[in-house]
Amino acid sequence: MSTATATRVRYEQIKPKIGARILNTKEELLSGDLSDEINALLEERGVLVFPGINFNDEEQVKFSDLLGGNADEISKQDQNAVFKVSLDEKVNENVAEYLKGSLYWHIDGTTNKVPIRASMLSAKVLSPEGGDTEFANTATSYADLPEDKKAEIEDMRVVHSLWCSQFYHTPEPSLKQIEDWQSRGEAEIPLVVTNASGKKSLVLGNTAHYIKGLDLKDSQKILHGLREFATSEPYMYAHKWTVGDTVMWDNRTSLHRATPYDPASGRMMHRTINRGGEAWEA
């Protein structure tokens, strides 16, 4: 008499401080039987790589739904909640300028009260040069900070704004650009956030404008110093894409950026986003 064995997530660690490579088949992933395990592993490892899984759009949306559901994108370009990530203005006429910020370390949705819980990116067309994606774990890096540094930053609050991030790629904007950027809003959130399981992480990146109540010079030294530490070798993983790969990351605990590439190269990624659930602070 045979006994059915439950399917389990099969994976290998990428680095001790970040990342796991998922080895299950597409059929196993889309069955829904692994959703709880995958979500738990995502929180533990920060970044999950599904090499050569070759999701089509319908399958990617289904998988995102199984893990918590899709949120509306920047601009819903079709009816299946897939956003086409491209710097080509012919593809993303209204948001290509803002997507240039993706070339610098950032966390998505820092000006939203409830941030994106997770993002999933699938490679469709690659750039001949550049276009890799780098990730950094802001939970494991926070855990490794000296205790005196943790105590120093524990109660700090940071003002985040989209307009701050745009100066990274357009240092001499027009007045019209400035007015448009500033109309997108800003938010004040803790530098150190705690999720429902008690895990603490840093909220950093190119939207982090300044720390409330500090001299701007001191504020910048703290923010950039923490970013430098959080993106250093033990906590950073650089994914070199192959067409058909999918990568998912915990947005609350993962800085990410694309390495520079030619906007006219045709590089195309399809992204789905999983809903939040926890505000930055209670």
Asked which of 141-145, 169-173, 278-282 is least confident by mean pLDDT, the reply is 278-282
- Superfamily (CATH H level) for 11-274: Clavaminate synthase-like (3.60.130.10)
**For 98, which DSSP code?**
H
For residue 14, pLDDT over 70 is answered with: yes
Q: Taking the domains of the chain in order of start, what are their residue ranges?
A: 11-274
Maximum distance among all Cα pairs of the chain, rounded to whole angstroms: 76
**CA dihedral over 105, 181, 270, 107, signed as positive or negative:** positive
Kindly state the tokens that stand for 68: 């918590």
Residue 37 and residue 177: Cα distance in Å, rounded? 44
Pairing label, strands 18-22, 47-50 = parallel
Does pLDDT of 268 surpass 90?
Answer: yes
- State pLDDT tens for residues 26-52: 999 999 999 999 999 999 999 999 999
Report the candidate in 211, 214, 103, 230 with the shortest Cα–Cα distance to residue 160.
211
Predicted confidence band at 92 (pLDDT cuts at 50, 70, 90)? low
Q: Are strands 118-125 and 246-250 parallel, antiparallel or unpaired?
A: antiparallel
Q: Which two tokens stand for residue 266?
A: 């045709």
Flag whether the pTM goes above 0.85: yes
pLDDT for 196-244, tens place per residue? 889 999 999 999 999 999 999 999 999 999 999 999 999 999 999 999 9
